[in-house]
């Protein structure tokens, strides 16, 4: 599949640098490596930040805050920010 991706000059230069160094054979390898790195970063974030919260909530569901309360607090916070407080 051929897909055109708009790049900044800096991004294009980085691809050219990686190709010139031999780190990647072509631009598709650069994109594939970037996608793999992003997937690994997202997985690491899930394991470090999200999974512990899920497990804590499963151990003690009483820690949960009702959605209505969360949204009410967010609306109040937003209103205060708009008012300049």
pLDDT given for residue 1 in this prediction:
80
pLDDT at 33: 97
Dump the DSSP string for 5-40.
Answer: ----HHHHHHHHHHHHHTS-SSHHHHHHHHHHHHHH
Q: At a CB cut-off of 8 Å and minimum separation 6, what does 5 contact?
A: 31
CB 27 within 8 A of CB 19: yes
pTM recorded for the entire structure = 0.66
Going from the first residue of the chain to its last (85 residues), give the mean pLDDT of each consecutive group of 10, the final group possibly shorter: 92 97 96 97 98 96 94 97 88
Report pLDDT for 2. 84
């Amino acid at each position: 599949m051929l897909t055109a991706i708009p790049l900044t000059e800096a991004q294009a230069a980085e691809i050219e640098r990686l190709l010139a160094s031999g780190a990647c054979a072509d631009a598709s390898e650069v994109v594939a490596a970037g996608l793999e790195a992003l997937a690994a970063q997202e997985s690491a974030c899930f394991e470090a930040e999200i999974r512990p919260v899920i497990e804590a909530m499963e151990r003690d569901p009483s820690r949960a805050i009702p959605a209505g309360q969360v949204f009410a607090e967010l609306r109040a916070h937003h209103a205060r920010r708009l008012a300049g407080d």
